[in-house]
Amino acid sequence: MINRVILVGRITKDLELKSTQSNISFCNFTLAVNRPFTEKDGTRQADFIQVVVWIKQAEDLVKYQNKGSLIGVDGRIQTRSYEVDGNMRYVTEVVADSIAYLESKREQEDDFYETSKRLATEESLPF
């Protein structure tokens, strides 16, 4: 059987390192992955895919990446279920085997700097 997933996308929110009851580190997050086509009006849709990363990779991901970071994920799809207040909940997620950081911190900072600079020149400043 083959269960392999390769994704490239952006992290949708700030990352948080968590631990299981047996003190194993993990991080779960949502990855926004653009679809390969555009709508008639030119907009591009994205899929929001749940990903979980374990142990050292989770610790490094939280340490070096943040919201908006472009990453690659190589992993497998996993399903699980659990019960909350008598109701069954079902989860489908990608369990990451490896993660690649696809842009440097400098590239992220440059994008932020250019956007900030453009906004500052476009707005009328009170002084």
> For 27-50, what is the mean pLDDT?
92
Count of other CB atoms within 10 angstroms of residue 34: 13
Count of other CB atoms within 10 angstroms of residue 9: 21
> For 80-94, what is the mean pLDDT?
94
Write the pLDDT tens digit of every residue in 94-108. Answer: 999 999 999 876 666
In the predicted model, is pLDDT for residue 112 greater than 90?
Answer: no
Q: What is the CATH number of domain 5-102?
A: 2.40.50.140
CA 65, CA 14: separation in Å to the nearest integer?
A: 9
In the predicted model, is pLDDT for residue 44 greater than 50?
Answer: yes
Count of other CB atoms within 10 angstroms of residue 74: 14
Q: What is the value of pTM for the model shown? A: 0.77
Listed residue (78, 20, 32, 30) closest to 51, CA to CA: 30
- Domain definitions of the chain by residue range: 5-102
